[in-house]
Amino acid sequence: MPEALQLIADMNWIQLALAVIIFDIPRYTFSLLSLSLLGLTGALSQRETPIRASVSVIVPAFNGGPGLLRSIEALRRQTLAPLEIIVVDDGSTDDTRAIAEEARAAGLVDMVICHGTRCGRSAAINAAARFASGELLLTVDADTLFEPAAVAGLASAFTDPRVAGASCNIAISNETASIWTRLQSIEYLMSISAGRTILDTVDAIACLSGACSMYRRDVFMRHGGLDVGPGEDLEFSLRLRRLGYLVRFVPEAWVATAGPASGLGLLRQRARWDRDALRIRLIMYGELRFFHRLERLPDTLQRLDFILFDLIPTLSFPFYLVYLMALLGIDAFRLLAAIYVLLTWISFFNLGLAFALFKRAPRILDLGAALVFPVYQSVYLKCARLVSYSSEIIFAASRDDDFVPPRVRRALFSGPEGARR
């Protein structure tokens, strides 16, 4: 191993820069250290909650019966009580409708909307928004659980009249289910808690999470609501930014959602996220163009975050490995082993700092997961993202995404209008 570490020391600046970019070595460390400094200067002060904010909660549910009641009960325990809770049963085949109706009879839910056939998450939310009466719309997944002050924390972002949308911190509710959920828990702590908090300080938030986001209702309705195609949360967030509104991230507001418990389930989830991100950013919004008319600096920063820390490292990864083998031969494996050791130490440092900054209780198994995290983040997810990006570039695979009902996909992507889209 000392020989491998010496290989890193002997790398020229080009080789070192490539390793830094490909393996995301400085990304979350930079975010966490910056947040530490900002926290010490009081820059991450708590926002004040608006006293009279009225919040309508919309819960779209497709076969969401198992977690629906717990989510509703958590909403009813909020320090800022929702004005109303609207559940949309989007053509479920389980007991979602029965659970929703029982909750309505018990006074926990104010309205239940039932779709005879599945219309999709966006259509469910847009339908419920027409009946909502609150100033703010909170859209949540049926398995989302809330800390008591989560809704109040999200509503606090809207004291600024320029803010049209806000999202919150997300933890993994089933993190003890498997090694995959444990790794997702660490990933969320780095990419969402640390990554989005630092991006929020420069107004560079690009995506309001589908699991839990809040919108100003009049803005939501005026600009057509969510797009019915895949990746609706990212698309609407970028649309709000292009229209001149602010979108914020509230690190003090915490919710938890269930993550895929198997490696295959995780791959399916990320394939959908990655394909949608590429299609929306590059095709719908042309974010690879060098200049954008009337673009603000924060919009440029959020584009560069995606391009420099996501797109370029992913697409370059196989070429980088070929380059290493051609340059170093068998020593390439020693170099990769040394990079793994370096990333592991960085992972432990980042994890400890993140737990301290976000006041989360560490568990002994988190230390074990931290040993695997560099491979999970820098190899497993990167390879999965490479396949997803390639399938989208070559086959436009997001058009066949089963997240959107087949009849909706046909309406979106067939005919002249669909082809242009």
Calculate the alpha carbon distances from 295 to 235, 307, 369 in Å. Answer: 17, 16, 41
Name the nearest CA neighbour of 220 among 171, 285, 158, 280: 158
Model confidence pLDDT, tens digit, residues 215-240 = 999 999 999 999 988 899 999 999 99
Alpha carbons 163 and 244: distance in angstroms, whole number:
10
- pTM of structure: 0.92
Alpha carbons 286 and 222: distance in angstroms, whole number:
24
What was the pLDDT predicted at 53? Answer: 86
What was the pLDDT predicted at 2? Answer: 66
Alpha carbons 355 and 12: distance in angstroms, whole number:
35
What was the pLDDT predicted at 84? Answer: 98
Calculate the alpha carbon distances from 410 to 68, 201, 405, 413, 415 in Å. Answer: 30, 41, 9, 5, 9
What was the pLDDT predicted at 3? Answer: 64
What are the residue ranges spanned by the domains of the chain?
A: 1-46+145-409
Calculate the alpha carbon distances from 374 to 29, 184, 195, 281, 360 in Å. Answer: 13, 12, 17, 27, 21
What was the pLDDT predicted at 321? Answer: 94
DSSP string, 178-223: -HHHHHHHHHHIIIIIIHHHHHHHTT------TTEEEEEHHHHHHT
Model confidence pLDDT, tens digit, residues 124-149 = 999 999 999 999 999 999 999 999 99
At which residue do the structure tokens 């990554």 appear?
A: 195
User: Which of 413-419's residues contact partners 24+ apart within 8 Å by CB, and which partners?
Assistant: none
Name the nearest CA neighbour of 122 among 229, 237, 213: 229
Calculate the alpha carbon distances from 87 to 109, 356, 361, 392, 401 in Å. Answer: 7, 37, 33, 33, 24
DSSP state at residue 137? E
Residues in the chain with pLDDT < 70?
1-5, 7-8, 40-51, 412-421
Alpha carbons 90 and 87: distance in angstroms, whole number:
9
Q: Given the DSSP bridges, would you call strands 246-257 and 145-146 parallel, antiparallel or unpaired?
A: antiparallel
Which uninterrupted H or E stretch holds 115?
strand 111-115
What was the pLDDT predicted at 411? Answer: 74
Alpha carbons 320 and 231: distance in angstroms, whole number:
30
